[in-house]
Structure 1
């Protein structure tokens, strides 16, 4: 029994694999370098490489399960559809809008935004997971603020129309080889490869 206990202390379980998670500027838990990877178990602790993950695993192993539970709670909250907001009150800043002022309203989820909140990157985001005030994310270039307004980022297919966006055609290597149905709107078209759905590619 003592031997097994000592083995558990001095030979901890191997760390889980790393997930590629380029969600902005994050720093490695061990060396503070830029960290494009996250622990695949807790989705929270960031590393620059598997070498640093191995070096910091003994310390992280103790807190990994706690981070897992917290991450699960965050995901559950983000996926829960909130109650339809009361009409006549800005959902973004909670200001009551009187006569002569308008509120933009999403027909699907009922989110309302006054003029200043409508142009804000977070308060102007409605609760719909795949669109914002009727504009579908799959038809837009990836942006970091494309979310359901509750911390859940959009991760579905992308097939923006370069002509509608007033830009040049995208290179052919940006797209998957064959057309298929978009997992968001169902349109059969050529969609972006997974690596080009990353919003930081388009900065």
Structure 2
């Protein structure tokens, strides 16, 4: 990777409950301190595993995990408020198939996820960094797309949603030339019926912005 962060560290608003959850519910957090390989069987038994990168406040994350107990889910997020919020949801709903890495996926995925092991990857509404001078901060650069593709099993999927048309066009162009991936649609995908609404999805709708969806599989 190019070493440029796709996010800005913000203190943000974190509630006492969210902050407390990070300390008290750490059993749902997988340490990234050494960036060591995650042995999925330790956490997910023999389940297929899906990774979500940048889960925000985790609303869609826990709903998907709750609806699919036969699948393991691993979420990456850097912002403490979102991590705390999702931890509270995991505890409230007693989810046994959802864990968190509180760190930058770009830094973690290369060594923490083995090649050809994932059943899917979700990136819902990644930061579009709309100013041209910031485009280098966009997470879905050519190199990262190839990395994600290499972590998928054959038949595994990469599912991306954005409400920024120019970014969608850029992502689609990069996905189309990735030799490990095949588009399951002619261009943009139909909304997948199992994907819940996210907070960013709601904000896009309120602002009158459309969403563009991309669904590719590993070949």
Task: Classify the TM-score, shorter chain.
Answer: under 0.3
When Rg is computed on C-alpha atoms for both structures, the one with the higher figure is 1
Q: TM-score, normalised by structure 1?
A: 0.23
What is the TM-score with the length of structure 2 in the denominator?
A: 0.22
Hey, which of these two has a bigger chunk of strand by percent? 2
Question: Whose RCO is larger (CA < 8 A, sep 6+)?
Answer: 2
- Write 1 or 2 for the structure with the bigger share of helix: 2
